[in-house]
Amino acid sequence: MTKFDFEIVGKIGSMALIRKEEGEIDYNVFSRIGSELRPGVIWVSSGAVEIGRLDYIKRNGRELIGHKEDVMTDYSAQGQAILLSEYRRFIPAQYSVRQLLVEHTHFNDDEKREHIKRFLQRSAAQNAIPIINYNDPVSIEENRRWELNTLKKEHGYAVECIDNDETASVICMLVKSMYLVLFTSVDGIYRDANDPNTLVDAVEGKNALEVLGGIEELQKSCVGASREGANGARSKLDFIKGPIEQGTTVIITNGQNRLTDAISGNCRRTIFRVR
């Protein structure tokens, strides 16, 4: 029997936090998530870049112009402040809220990884909820690629964490969480990306090896992504393999759903688990 130290690691994607048609933050999503977060839950949140972009347009009437990397830095730095303030607004007042900005180097170094683990354990014990995001404002692509290539040469692999699906999965393995819940802008994993009626309800097996086999079979039909720069369902399924191997139950569902409904099965979702 696997012993889990945390109950839930959850993650929400950028597009699930906004009303794309109106170009506005979806405050209902923040309200719904915030009301359900409690100590012992670790929350990974994308959205800083997109929310920063929307806020800049609202205040200036236009988008930023310039080198893509500079623009992304400026948007994300502007959006981080808003992102955290919205979580603070809706998380129950009796709980502390703590922001943790991570980079790939933190998870490729044993000492830094252990430091993050202790921080997360203390947060749960101290009645605090950690909100985690990749530290986009200081992430320079050229340097990042060089660092990752060096790490891969030295160790044979490297954690990238540029996609917060991977960040959530790495955190899940770090703290041994019972559930990993990934909120997206769709209801789960579809066999046909253009047909919501092809939702895969469950990928199950008598052991982790069977579940991993089901994931690899499902990846054959996964193409496309929700937005430019996103890695899509295929990569999402790659990232959850580590948590599955350690016995975590993984759920992928729509960000419009409640966290409790996602876990209980009272909504459309795709669940990955050992029976």
Asked if pLDDT for residue 200 goes beyond 90, the answer is yes
240, part of any domain: yes
Q: pLDDT category, 233, cuts 50, 70, 90?
A: confident
1, part of any domain: no
Each residue of 30-49: pLDDT tens digit?
A: 999 999 999 999 999 999 99
DSSP β-bridge partners for residue 43: 10, 131
213, part of any domain: yes
Q: What is the DSSP string of 154-190?
A: HHS------SHHHHHHHHHHHHTEEEEEEEESSSS-B
Domain count, the chain: 1
Paired sense of beta strands 96-102 and 202-205, if any:
unpaired
Provide the mean pLDDT of the chain.
Answer: 88
267, part of any domain: yes
Paired sense of beta strands 24-25 and 41-45, if any:
unpaired
Cβ atoms 251, 273 nearer than 8 A: no
Each residue of 97-110: pLDDT tens digit?
A: 999 998 877 777 88
Closest by CA position to 193, among listed 166, 165, 230: 230
135, part of any domain: yes
Average pLDDT over residues 229-241: 78
Cβ atoms 131, 45 nearer than 8 A: yes
The three-state secondary structure class of 70 is: helix
Range of the domain at 161: 6-274
DSSP β-bridge partners for residue 137: none
49, part of any domain: yes
The H or E element containing residue 43 is strand 41-45
Asked if pLDDT for residue 9 goes beyond 70, the answer is yes
106, part of any domain: yes
147, part of any domain: yes
pTM: 0.88
Lookup: tokens for 168: 């959530």
DSSP β-bridge partners for residue 131: 43, 99
CATH number of 46's domain: 3.40.1160.10
DSSP β-bridge partners for residue 6: 177
